[in-house]
Amino acid sequence: MIESVLITGSSRRLGSLIARDLALSGAFVWIHYRSGKVQAETLKQEIRNYGGEAECVAADLTDTDQIDAMLEKVGSTESGALTTLINNASLFLNGRLEDTDVCDWDRVLNTNLKAVWYLSSRFVSLFPSAGRIITIGDASTSGVYTEHAVYGLSKYALKYLTEQMAASFYPRVSVNLLSPGFVLKGKNEPDRKWNERLEQTLLDNGKITEQILKSIRYLMSDPGMTGSELLIDNGLHLRSKMKL
């Protein structure tokens, strides 16, 4: 059976790398985007040029009606027998807890947490072919993310949500959390700051993207792993625990 994979937020950055890798490994990939239509269409064409199969689908994940419409569109196609859902879309906002307003709180939690729960639940309910859910977390939330408080809260909560969904969706669907460390430099992030961040890892961080892609393929192939968090951060999560 050919894998049919929906990857949220896959028109750019890590999501696009996952989409490209899986498509070129033989999966049919649904490239989800909210506003990056041009990037999504470009990625789709690139995948097709290399012999892969992909299609684009749009939705604002903070709107449950749009999520339902997206799944209806996917399910109505020949390649709509989804086997895998990868919850990759995420909203990253700066701000300490005391500076957070209600609007930012809702935007971050609705995107990073509520959408993961709702989309995952609908995926399992609507697609008999559903076999696995992989959610992208953040290894940095092993510490206290004070400068990105609500983002950190949303990612921290994903571990418990993963365990809840794994316990609810077994034995048909496995649910796992993949939490990477520093993967891609921010668009406006100075090289100096990025390099300082990389120095917090214990081992060479140069191939972490390759490690993440291999981990995605591993989670898609292992039939027994569920309710687990896989940290891919080259030891970053240990830094705060070390007494040097």
Domain count, the chain: 1
**pLDDT tens per residue across span 40-83:** 999 999 999 999 999 999 999 999 999 999 999 999 998 789 99
Instruction: Say which residues have a Cβ less than 8 Å from residue 242's Cβ, sequence separation at least 6.
Output: none
From the list 182, 82, 79, the residue with the least C-alpha distance to 122 is 82
Question: Is residue 85 one of the residues assigned to a domain?
Answer: yes
Maximum Cα–Cα distance across the chain = 57
**pLDDT tens per residue across span 117-138:** 999 999 999 999 999 999 999 9
Name the pLDDT band for 142 (thresholds 50, 70, 90). Answer: low
Higher pLDDT, 2 or 121: 121
**Residue whose token pair is 């921010």:** 186
For residue 27, give the CATH number of its domain.
3.40.50.720
Query: How far is it, in rounded angstroms, from Cα 40 to Cα 4?
Result: 17
Question: Is residue 181 one of the residues assigned to a domain?
Answer: yes
Residue ranges making up the domain that contains 179: 4-233
pTM above 0.75, yes or no: yes
The answer to whether the CB of 48 falls within 8 A of the CB of 23 is no
Name the pLDDT band for 223 (thresholds 50, 70, 90). Answer: confident
Question: Is residue 150 one of the residues assigned to a domain?
Answer: yes
Question: Is residue 244 one of the residues assigned to a domain?
Answer: no
From the list 176, 68, 48, the residue with the least C-alpha distance to 115 is 68
Question: Is residue 240 one of the residues assigned to a domain?
Answer: no
Query: How far is it, in rounded angstroms, from Cα 110 to Cα 62?
Result: 5
Question: Is residue 119 one of the residues assigned to a domain?
Answer: yes
Name the pLDDT band for 236 (thresholds 50, 70, 90). Answer: confident
Question: Is residue 238 one of the residues assigned to a domain?
Answer: no
Looking at every residue in the chain, the average pLDDT score rounds to 90
Question: Is residue 114 one of the residues assigned to a domain?
Answer: yes
